[in-house]
Amino acid sequence: MPQMPSESLAARIGRQLASRIVSGEIPPGARLRQDHIATEFGSSHVPVREAFRQLEAQGLVESLPRRGVRVAAFGLEEVREVAQMRGALEVLALRNAAPHLTPAILDEAEEATRAGDRARDVQNWDAANRRFHRSILAPCGMPRLLRSIEDLHSASTRFLMSGWRAEWDAPTDRDHRAILVALRAGNVEQAAALLERHVTWVGPAPGRRPAAGPARQT
Is residue 55 situated within a structural domain?
yes
CA distance 196 to 189: 10
What region, left, alpha or beta, does residue 186 occupy, with left being phi > 0 and alpha being psi -120 to 50 degrees?
left
Asked if 114 and 21 sit in the same domain, the reply is: no
Instruction: Supply the pLDDT for residue 157.
Output: 82
Asked if 157 and 64 sit in the same domain, the reply is: no
Domain final residue, candidates 19, 53, 71: 71
CA distance 55 to 36: 17
| 113, 128 contact by CB (below 8 A) | yes
CA distance 4 to 123: 28
Instruction: Supply the pLDDT for residue 151.
Output: 86
Instruction: Supply the pLDDT for residue 203.
Output: 60
Crossing angle of helices 188-200 and 174-184, in 10° steps, is 160
Residues in the chain where the model's pLDDT stays below 50 = 1-4, 164-166, 206-216
Asked if 85 and 126 sit in the same domain, the reply is: yes
Range of the domain at 31: 9-71
CA distance 22 to 17: 9
| 74, 28 contact by CB (below 8 A) | yes
- Closest Cα to residue 155, out of 213, 202, 208? 202
Is residue 30 situated within a structural domain?
yes
Instruction: Supply the pLDDT for residue 18.
Output: 85
CATH number at residue 193: 1.20.120.530
